[in-house]
Amino acid sequence: MHWYGGSFNICVQINFDDDRPDIILRLAKVRVTTFRDEKVKNEVEVMKFLRQHTTIPVPRIIGWGLTADSPRGLGPFIIMDYVEGEDLSDLLQKPNDDKEAPLTLNPDLDNKTLDIIYRQIAGFMLQIYQFDFPAIGAIAQDSERPNT
Protein backbone atom coordinates (compact mmCIF):
# COMPACT_ATOMS: atom_id res chain seq x y z
CA MET A 1 0.00 0.00 0.00
CA HIS A 2 1.32 3.46 -0.94
CA TRP A 3 -0.05 6.87 0.05
CA TYR A 4 -0.02 9.94 -2.19
CA GLY A 5 -1.16 13.41 -1.22
CA GLY A 6 -2.02 16.37 -3.37
CA SER A 7 -3.63 19.72 -2.72
CA PHE A 8 -7.21 18.44 -2.73
CA ASN A 9 -7.06 14.63 -2.49
CA ILE A 10 -5.41 11.78 -0.65
CA CYS A 11 -4.80 8.64 -2.69
CA VAL A 12 -4.03 5.14 -1.50
CA GLN A 13 -2.52 2.70 -4.01
CA ILE A 14 -3.70 -0.78 -3.09
CA ASN A 15 -1.63 -3.77 -4.21
CA PHE A 16 -3.06 -7.29 -4.38
CA ASP A 17 -1.18 -10.53 -3.74
CA ASP A 18 -2.70 -12.21 -6.80
CA ASP A 19 -2.60 -11.13 -10.46
CA ARG A 20 -5.20 -8.38 -10.08
CA PRO A 21 -3.97 -4.93 -11.12
CA ASP A 22 -3.39 -2.25 -8.51
CA ILE A 23 -6.18 0.19 -7.74
CA ILE A 24 -6.38 3.67 -6.26
CA LEU A 25 -8.71 4.76 -3.48
CA ARG A 26 -9.03 8.53 -3.80
CA LEU A 27 -10.52 10.63 -1.00
CA ALA A 28 -11.28 14.36 -1.03
CA LYS A 29 -9.36 16.11 1.74
CA VAL A 30 -11.29 17.45 4.72
CA ARG A 31 -11.26 21.23 5.34
CA VAL A 32 -9.77 21.89 1.90
CA THR A 33 -12.80 21.42 -0.33
CA THR A 34 -16.09 22.96 0.75
CA PHE A 35 -18.51 20.77 -1.23
CA ARG A 36 -16.67 17.42 -1.18
CA ASP A 37 -19.65 15.31 -2.30
CA GLU A 38 -20.35 17.66 -5.20
CA LYS A 39 -16.65 17.75 -6.15
CA VAL A 40 -16.36 13.96 -6.32
CA LYS A 41 -19.66 13.57 -8.20
CA ASN A 42 -18.51 16.10 -10.80
CA GLU A 43 -15.07 14.52 -11.14
CA VAL A 44 -16.65 11.11 -11.76
CA GLU A 45 -18.90 12.58 -14.46
CA VAL A 46 -15.98 14.35 -16.16
CA MET A 47 -13.82 11.20 -16.08
CA LYS A 48 -16.63 9.11 -17.58
CA PHE A 49 -17.28 11.77 -20.23
CA LEU A 50 -13.61 11.98 -21.23
CA ARG A 51 -13.23 8.18 -21.42
CA GLN A 52 -16.34 7.94 -23.59
CA HIS A 53 -15.74 10.86 -25.96
CA THR A 54 -11.94 11.26 -26.24
CA THR A 55 -8.73 9.28 -26.46
CA ILE A 56 -7.30 11.11 -23.43
CA PRO A 57 -5.94 8.48 -21.03
CA VAL A 58 -8.26 8.54 -18.00
CA PRO A 59 -8.39 5.79 -15.36
CA ARG A 60 -11.42 3.48 -15.38
CA ILE A 61 -13.71 4.10 -12.43
CA ILE A 62 -14.43 0.89 -10.55
CA GLY A 63 -16.73 2.47 -7.99
CA TRP A 64 -17.46 5.69 -6.17
CA GLY A 65 -19.67 7.07 -3.46
CA LEU A 66 -20.69 10.10 -1.48
CA THR A 67 -20.13 10.70 2.22
CA ALA A 68 -23.30 8.78 3.10
CA ASP A 69 -21.95 5.76 1.17
CA SER A 70 -18.54 5.71 2.88
CA PRO A 71 -18.29 2.62 5.10
CA ARG A 72 -15.88 4.21 7.59
CA GLY A 73 -17.19 7.76 7.31
CA LEU A 74 -14.10 8.89 5.40
CA GLY A 75 -16.14 11.02 3.02
CA PRO A 76 -16.73 10.84 -0.71
CA PHE A 77 -14.42 8.48 -2.58
CA ILE A 78 -13.46 7.15 -5.99
CA ILE A 79 -11.99 3.69 -6.58
CA MET A 80 -10.19 3.55 -9.92
CA ASP A 81 -7.56 1.69 -11.88
CA TYR A 82 -4.00 2.60 -10.99
CA VAL A 83 -2.25 4.00 -14.06
CA GLU A 84 1.52 3.73 -14.18
CA GLY A 85 3.27 6.90 -15.27
CA GLU A 86 5.49 9.82 -14.37
CA ASP A 87 4.43 13.10 -12.79
CA LEU A 88 4.72 15.91 -15.31
CA SER A 89 6.22 18.14 -12.62
CA ASP A 90 8.96 15.55 -12.02
CA LEU A 91 9.79 15.52 -15.74
CA LEU A 92 9.86 19.30 -16.14
CA GLN A 93 11.35 20.65 -12.94
CA LYS A 94 14.96 21.34 -12.23
CA PRO A 95 16.30 18.69 -9.83
CA ASN A 96 16.52 20.13 -6.34
CA ASP A 97 16.96 18.50 -2.95
CA ASP A 98 15.40 21.50 -1.20
CA LYS A 99 11.67 20.68 -0.95
CA GLU A 100 10.89 24.34 -0.08
CA ALA A 101 12.58 25.77 -3.19
CA PRO A 102 10.28 27.15 -5.89
CA LEU A 103 9.70 24.91 -8.89
CA THR A 104 11.88 25.89 -11.83
CA LEU A 105 11.88 24.51 -15.36
CA ASN A 106 14.91 22.30 -15.86
CA PRO A 107 17.22 24.21 -18.26
CA ASP A 108 18.90 20.92 -19.21
CA LEU A 109 15.65 19.41 -20.51
CA ASP A 110 16.13 18.48 -24.15
CA ASN A 111 13.87 19.95 -26.83
CA LYS A 112 12.72 16.51 -28.00
CA THR A 113 11.22 15.74 -24.57
CA LEU A 114 9.58 19.17 -24.38
CA ASP A 115 8.19 18.75 -27.89
CA ILE A 116 6.62 15.37 -26.98
CA ILE A 117 5.06 16.82 -23.82
CA TYR A 118 3.72 19.94 -25.55
CA ARG A 119 2.27 17.90 -28.43
CA GLN A 120 0.47 15.57 -26.01
CA ILE A 121 -0.99 18.48 -24.05
CA ALA A 122 -2.01 20.26 -27.25
CA GLY A 123 -3.71 17.07 -28.48
CA PHE A 124 -5.65 16.79 -25.22
CA MET A 125 -6.67 20.45 -25.39
CA LEU A 126 -7.86 20.11 -28.99
CA GLN A 127 -10.02 17.12 -28.07
CA ILE A 128 -11.59 19.02 -25.16
CA TYR A 129 -12.08 22.15 -27.28
CA GLN A 130 -14.39 20.28 -29.69
CA PHE A 131 -17.22 20.08 -27.13
CA ASP A 132 -19.90 22.74 -27.08
CA PHE A 133 -21.92 22.87 -23.88
CA PRO A 134 -25.09 24.96 -23.44
CA ALA A 135 -23.90 26.57 -20.19
CA ILE A 136 -20.87 27.13 -18.01
CA GLY A 137 -20.69 24.78 -15.05
CA ALA A 138 -20.37 21.15 -14.13
CA ILE A 139 -21.31 18.23 -16.36
CA ALA A 140 -23.28 16.65 -13.50
CA GLN A 141 -26.54 18.38 -12.69
CA ASP A 142 -27.17 19.08 -9.01
CA SER A 143 -30.83 19.66 -8.26
CA GLU A 144 -29.89 21.84 -5.28
CA ARG A 145 -27.93 24.35 -7.35
CA PRO A 146 -29.05 26.44 -10.34
CA ASN A 147 -27.33 26.24 -13.72
CA THR A 148 -24.88 29.06 -14.35
Structure confidence by residue, pLDDT tens digits, 95-122: 877 777 787 888 899 999 999 999 999 9
Q: Which pLDDT score, from 0 to 100, does residue 143 have?
A: 59
At residue 47, φ and ψ (nearest 5 deg) are -60, -45
Q: Is 20 exposed, middle or buried (0-12, 13-18, 19+ CB in 10 A)?
A: exposed
**CATH 3.30.200.20 is the classification of domain 2-129:** yes
* Helix (H/G/I), strand (E/B), else coil: 101: coil
At residue 52, φ and ψ (nearest 5 deg) are -80, -35
What pTM does this model have?
0.81
**146 confidence band (pLDDT: 50, 70, 90):** low
Q: Which pLDDT score, from 0 to 100, does residue 147 have?
A: 52
As a three-state string, the secondary structure of 21-32 is CCEEEEEECCCC
Between strands 77-81 and 61-65, the pairing is: antiparallel
Q: Sketch the domain layout of the chain as residue ranges.
A: 2-129
User: Which amino acid would we find at residue 79?
Assistant: I
Give yes or no for a contact between 93 and 105, defined as CB atoms under 8 angstroms apart: yes
Overall average pLDDT of the 73-92 stretch? 89
24-60 residue pLDDT tens: 999 998 888 889 999 999 999 999 999 999 999 999 9
Q: Is 77 exposed, middle or buried (0-12, 13-18, 19+ CB in 10 A)?
A: buried
For residue 28, give Cα distances in angstroms to 1, 41, 111: 18, 11, 36
Give yes or no for a contact between 139 and 49, defined as CB atoms under 8 angstroms apart: yes
User: Which amino acid would we find at residue 72?
Assistant: R
